[in-house]
Amino acid sequence: MADLLKKTFELLIGTEDISMPKLRVSKKKSPTSKPTRRQLIQMESEIGGTLFGDVPKGHRREFFNLDPDTWIWHEEWNDHSGKRRTATTRYEIHENGILKAQEGAKYNFIEGDELDNFMLSTRLYYERIAREIYNCDPQTGQPLVQQAAS
Partner 1 sequence: MTPIQANQMPDLSDDFRQDIESSFPPKLVQEAQAVFRGQDTEVNTKAPRRIVSSENAEGEPISSRELHGTDHRYAIVAEARKAIEDVELRDSLAREQIKNAGIVKAYGQRVEVFRSRTAKG
Work out whether 125 is an interface residue with partner 1 (CB under 8 A).
yes
Looking at residue 40, its amino acid is: L
Q: Which of residues 43-72 bind partner 1 (CB under 8 A)?
A: 44, 65, 67-71
Count of CB atoms situated within 10 Å of the CB of 125: 19
Work out whether 106 is an interface residue with partner 1 (CB under 8 A).
no
- If the CB atoms of residues 58 and 97 are measured against partner 1, the closer one turns out to be 97
The end-to-end CA distance of the chain, in Å, is: 36
H or E stretch covering 43: helix 37-48
Write 82-91 long-range contacts (CB < 8 A, 24+): 91/118
Work out whether 28 is an interface residue with partner 1 (CB under 8 A).
no
Q: Which residues bind partner 1 (CB under 8 A)?
A: 31-32, 34-37, 40-41, 44, 65, 67-71, 93-98, 109, 111, 115, 118-119, 122-123, 125-126, 129-130, 133-134, 136, 141
